[in-house]
Structure 1
Amino acid sequence: MRLSDNPAPPALSFVFPCLNEEQTLGTCIQQVKDSLEPTGIDYEIIIADNGSTDRSREIALSMGCRVVPVPIRGYGAALRGGIEASQAEYVMFADSDSTYLYADAAPLYQAAKKDNADMAIASRMIGRIEPGAMPPLHRWLGTPVLTTLINLLFHGKLSDCNSGFRCIRKTAFATWEIRSNGMEFASELLIKALKAGARSVEIPSGLRKGPEGRVAHLRTWRDGMRHLLFIFSEKPKLFEMIGFLTVLITTLLQVTAFCTGPISLGGFHIFDLHSKALLLLAGIFGAQFYLFSCMLFLQSKDRSLGITRKLINLDEGVLFFLLIATLGSCALLAGYITVRWSLSGFENLNLARDLLFWSHPLAISISFCVGLLGLHVLKKAQK
């Protein structure tokens, strides 16, 4: 471990995010030292303290570590603060809960140097996971699903997107513009690196069971949803195409069903009331997906379709008249149904087929109008 009065920057900074980790921090620090000391690597250990009220700071200082206070709460905020405080070529980090195999610190750094990688990941999924170290929900569902999504959407070859044991090149990290303060930092780091074409490498590592009685900072459903939302936020074009094609196809099929009426096709009876109702629901879902993509494009650098750009930049006057026209059309349809009902002596009506047909464009128009109102409010709030 480097001397504190050495003026030259170290080759490696190891960052521990820390919030009241006195139970495990000392063990983690010692294991990192035991891994790196024999290699002769010039390194330092930084404790990114996120407001600890226990003895974590004292333990870190007594073991020769540098403590960096990070006032903004959150796992991602703590790591960003620690990484930004480093001047080393490479920055490594891992949780300070004694669950990672810190003996792999040296192999992880050496893998990054050997492959000239911008990021090296200690994968738990291709290593050894001790019994009870990872909840079954995380091991067999959460991590595999999120990893597969990232690989599919961003052309990765990862095995463990949620590993919190990584080594990154400081200069590359600075270009990725990482913003997350919470647990989704892990997904953002991978996605931004993949989108930037960064060179990555994985080594097998593992996971140990944490000490008894320790309360984990991770919240399964909340943090899992945050990861999922961030993954989606970086792929607006996916929702744009799904939404646009769904609206287009369902509308064409609805028109076809109105023109042909119920037909038999290959032994299936289609284009009757149930088909039209399902097409209506699918069209509404498509409109919502498309509008979701429009909102994502507000903060994305990805290029959208021309029609999407026109909707995002739609003149407020045009939006006003579009809203009036939609509301007026709804009123006309309601008036038509009321008149037909009165003419029938307020008895049962048989207008379901016509009503489903006209409800399709009106429901989609209403979805678009309300969505565009929200979109323009968000645009004003960003200025």
Structure 2
Amino acid sequence: MQTNPFGSIQNMSDLTVTILMPCLNEAETLAFCVRQAVAALRDNNVAGEVLIADNGSTDGSQQIAVDEGARVVAVPVRGYGAALLTGIENARGKYVLMADADASYDFGHLPRFLAKLEEGNDLVMGNRFSGEIKPGAMPPLHKYLGNPVLSFIGRLFFGIPVRDFHCGIRAMRRDAVLALGLRTTGMEFASEMVVRSSLAGLRLAEVPTTLSPDGRTRAPHLRTWRDGWRHLRFLLLYSPRWLFFYPGVITFVVGLVISLLLIAGPLTIGRWTFDVDTLTYALGLVLIGAHISVFAVSAKVFGTQEGFLPPNPKFERVFKVINLEVGLIVGCVLLLAGAVILGYALHLWHAAGFGNLSPQTMLRLTLPSATCFMLGIEAIFGSFFLSLLGMNRR
């Protein structure tokens, strides 16, 4: 049993929403935020609670929260994500509305989030760009570069219909979010929640919201470049397709096309002549592209095994066809091709009495031969490694 902010007694299962705020030394603004949250519950006749996930405050924030009618849960692990995840785990409402305790978000917007959740959405994001960003509330670097670019990357990589990836106010169905198994403890938790929700097939929606200037006199916990990089790094790591596969395939194809054009002889375009020097770098691109592509498949298999990437039926079908045995055959064919080309080069050298030969002629044989050898070794040992990674999947 629990006492809600209005003084009545309710069963825990009857609570509709928990309003959750992460807290680390927020004494200046916490009382205002808790009062606003309590008023939002009372004015809209919503059964709920206000929960403060305290990350080790030393300014008396815990007592302020209790005095204002909130419940406090201590979070020993430092970090924005750690505080929110612990708060979600300890929430008693069916839904959780989270927002910062710095007076920058309006808890009075609770009804618009609940309405979207009641429509069947699992995660409802606030959108400051479709709502209002008050003067001085967001630094220009965040407003015109950071948030738009990172949100665009999120939509591009994951096809997520969210235009404000990092809005600090959002609401969720508690059981659906807990089932995701979120892991990050820092500021990138905001990205992880959206990405993992999308990958898991949860329903996402957005509602306009307002961002006001931070009500605190101290500097915010957010660090522009550090936390921006952490968000970008997370987006890249959760998308092996964009981090490895596309760059690998493009690099391989470009190198292969250039190599095929130069194998027969020099290529002249205008006043530019491309010869074996260019061929050397082109074959290098082929090798680099092959390496990166192996990383792409390895990352996908590992991510699926560890549970932070969802199974992909198309990938599973390809993995069944291109298995260890196929990889070994491809590797052996490449080794054989390299040996044949090398044998022809030795034949030409023998025909010349093992004397001097045209460097350009021989490099057009030895470079492709060495490339085939390296690709063959890559295919054989890469196939064994991928088979090892995928053993538990079978």
> Shorter-chain-normalised TM-score: which range?
0.7 to 0.9
By how many angstroms is 1:374 displaced? 9.5
Structure 1 376/199 Cα, relative in aligned 2: closer, same or farther at 3 Å?
Answer: closer
Counterparts in 2 of 1:279-358, with a 5 A limit? 279-297=282-300, 298-300=302-304, 301-302=311-312, 304=315, 357=368
Match among 2, 6, 27 for residue 32 of structure 2 = 27
Within 1, Cα distance between the matches of 2:231 and 2:188?
5
Counterpart for residue 276 of structure 1: 279
Query: Residue by residue, what CA displacement relative to the aligned partner does 1:275-312 show, whole Å, maximum 9, x if unpaired?
Result: 4354245335424532432342202234547787899x
| Worse-superposed segment, 185-194 or 207-216 | 207-216
TM-superposed deviation, 1:126: 1.3
Q: Hey, what's the Cα distance between the residues in 1 that align with 2:223 and 2:232? A: 14
SS in 2 for 1:299: helix
Residue aligned with 2:253, SS: helix
Deviates more, 1:118-127 or 1:218-227: 218-227
2 CA distance for matches of 1:119 and 1:187? 13
2-structure distance, mates of 1:154, 1:5 = 44
1:245 aligns with 2:244: no
The aligned residue for residue 99 of structure 1 is 104
- For 2:36 and 2:200, the matched residues in 1 are separated by 33
Query: Are the structure 2 counterparts of residues 179 and 280 from structure 1 closer, same or farther at C-alpha, using a change threshold of 3 Å?
Result: same
> d(CA) in 1 for partners of 2:320 and 2:297?
8
- In the alignment, is residue 168 of structure 1 matched against residue 169 of structure 2? no
1:223 alignment counterpart? 227
Contact 1:18 1:52 (C-alpha < 8 Å) held by counterparts: yes
Aligned residues of 1:258 and 1:357 also touching (Cα < 8 A): no
Task: Please state how far the C-alpha of 1:252 moved relative to its aligned partner.
Answer: 3.2
CA distance, structure 1, for counterparts of residue 59 and residue 386 of structure 2: 45
Q: Which of 39, 42, 45 is matched with 1:37 structurally?
A: 42
1:339 is aligned to none
Residue number in structure 1 paired with 2:206: 202
Distance 1:209 1:100 in 2: 9
Once the two structures are superposed, residues 110-138 of structure 1 have per-residue CA deviations (whole angstroms, 9 ceiling, x without a partner) of: 3332x232121111121211233222222
Structure 2, unpaired ranges of 5+: 305-310, 347-353
Structure 2 partner of 1:186: 190
Conserved 8 A contact 1:246-1:283:
no
Indicate the RMSD between aligned Cα atoms, in angstroms. Answer: 4.0
How far 1:377 sits from its partner (Å)? 11
Local SS of the residue matching 2:205 = strand
Give 2:350's aligned residue.
Answer: none
Mapped partners of 2:25, 2:390: distance in 1: 40
TM-score (norm 1): 0.78
- Alpha-carbon distance between aligned partners in 2 of 1:365 and 1:99, rounded to the nearest angstrom: 58
Per-residue CA shift, 1:141-189, capped at 9, x if unaligned? Answer: 2211221122223222211000110010112213322222111111111
Tell me, yes or no, if structure 1 residue 87 matches structure 2 residue 92. yes
Between the aligned residues of both structures, percent identity stands at 33
User: SS of the residue aligned with 1:181?
Assistant: coil
1:47 maps onto 2:44 in alignment: no
Per the TM alignment, residue 44 of structure 1 is displaced from its structure 2 partner at its CA by: 0.4
Number of paired residues? Answer: 362
